[in-house]
Amino acid sequence: MRRKTTPTNAARTVQLLAAVVLFTTGTGALAGCGSEQSGGSGNKVRATGQAPEAAARARRVADAWDGSKAAEAWRAGYHPMGEAVELPEGGFHDKADEHAYATQNFVLRGRLPAAPERDGRVTWASGGSLARPMLGARDAYGRFARSSSEGPHLTVTGARLGEMTLATSRGPATVPAWLFTLEGYDTPLKSVAVGPSKLPKPPIGPAAGSPSGELWELRSLVEVAGDGRSVTAIGNHGACDDGPAVHVLETDGSVVLSASIAGRRDGLCTAQLLGREVTVKLDRPVGDRVLLDAATGRPVPYGGPHGPSPSWS
C-alpha cells in the first residue's frame, strides 16, 4: 500500500555540524523552483501525490529485495540503528561539557585496554544472539573523541568492559560496550565494543537520474517509534520550497521510502541544501521488514550527531 506523509509539527531545519552546504554539481535543480506539488504553509505540506516514475521505482526496489539473499543476510546480521555512544546518566553537567561532546573535544589521561581475545555477543530482546569481533577501547574512544584542541573539553581517565542497549535492524539488543570514566562524572560514557555485520550487496542499483524533482535520497534515519508504527527520517530540500515529502510502499518483506521536494516556488533562490525531519506513519509495525530508500536501493542508514551508525562507516 502506498501512503504519503508530511513533515512533523515539530519539523525543523536540522542543525548538524554542517547544517547548510552549497549545492554540488547536479543538485542545482532546487535553485530553479517549480510547482510539481502544491505548497502548504509553515511546517505543513500538501503533496498532490507521488509521481508515477517514483512509484514505479519504489515497486522495483521492493520486488528486488523481497525474498532476496540480501534481505536474508540483513535479517541475520547485526546492524546498529541507534546511537553507538550513550551519555552519562542525567546527561552533561553544563553547556561547556555539551559543547565539548558536540565538537568531539576530549583529553585522554590514562591507558585504554586492548580488545579482548574473544568475540563479543549481541543478544536481542526478541530472542537470538550473534557473536561479533570485539573492538579495543582505543577504537571505541575514537568514535566520539576526534579532537584535543584548546577550549571546553571532557577528560577520559580510563575504561572497562560492560554492556549497553542499542537499537538495531532486528530490534533492541544488549551489546558489549566500553565504559569510559569521565573526570567529574559518577557514571560512565558508554561506547559499543563490537563491530557491525557487513552490509549485504543490494540486489538493485541506485535510481538513474537521481536526484530529480520526483526522487531524492534520504539523508538518514532518525528513529523508529517504539511500537514500530512510524519512522522518522531526514529529507533534503532547498530554500524555495515547502520542504521534503516522503511516500511509503509497504510489502510483507520491506518498507520503501521515497523522498521528494514539495511546493517548489518560482523566483530567485539561494543554493542551499537543507534537511528536515519527516515522520512516516505505517499501516503495521516495521518488524523484521527491511527499511529501504527508493533512490539508493539500499537500507536507510541511521545518522547520529557524529555521522552514520557504524554499519555505514
pLDDT in tens, 91-123: 999 999 999 999 999 999 989 999 998 999 999
According to the model, what pLDDT value does residue 11 have? Answer: 34
What was the pLDDT predicted at 266?
66
Res 96: pLDDT: 96
Please give the pLDDT value at position 10: 33
For residue 274, list its beta bridge partners: 237
* Cα 91 to Cα 73: distance, rounded to the nearest angstrom: 36
User: Which helix or strand (DSSP H or E) is residue 179 part of?
Assistant: strand 171-182
Let me know if 25 is exposed, middle or buried by CB neighbors in 10 A (0-12, 13-18, 19+): exposed
Give the pLDDT of residue 150. 84
| Among 171, 187, 204, residue whose Cα is nearest residue 86 | 187
Half-sphere exposure of 311 (CA within 13 A, CB side): 24
Helices of type H across the chain? 52-65, 69-76, 95-102, 137-141
- According to DSSP, the residues that pair with 191 across neighbouring strands are 85, 178
Q: Residue 59: what pLDDT?
A: 96
95: Cβ contacts below 8 Å, ≥ 6 apart = none
Q: What are phi and psi of 141, to 5 degrees?
A: -60, -40
Q: Could you tell me the CA-to-CA distances from 142 to 16, 32, 78, 151 in Å, in that order?
A: 19, 41, 21, 19
Residue 37 gets which letter from DSSP? S
User: What local confidence, expressed as pLDDT, does residue 40 receive?
Assistant: 29
For residue 35, CA distances in Å to 48, 188, 190, 212 come to: 10, 51, 47, 13
**Tens digits of residue pLDDT in 197-231:** 999 999 999 998 777 768 888 988 998 888 889 99
Q: Give, for all 313 residues of the chain, the pLDDT tens digit.
A: 544 444 443 333 333 323 333 233 233 333 333 322 222 222 223 334 788 889 999 999 999 999 999 999 999 999 998 888 999 999 999 999 999 999 999 999 989 999 998 999 999 998 999 999 999 999 999 989 988 788 899 999 999 999 999 889 888 999 999 999 999 999 999 999 999 999 999 999 999 877 776 888 898 899 888 888 999 998 877 667 667 889 999 999 999 999 987 766 666 776 677 778 899 999 999 988 999 999 999 999 888 666 666 666 5
| Strands 106-108, 154-168: pairing kind | parallel
Identify which of 218, 230, 245, 217 has the alpha carbon closest to the alpha carbon of residue 11: 245
Please list the helix, strand and coil fractions of the chain in percent, rounded to the nearest 5, in that order: 15, 35, 50
Are 168 and 117 within 8 A, CB to CB?
Answer: no
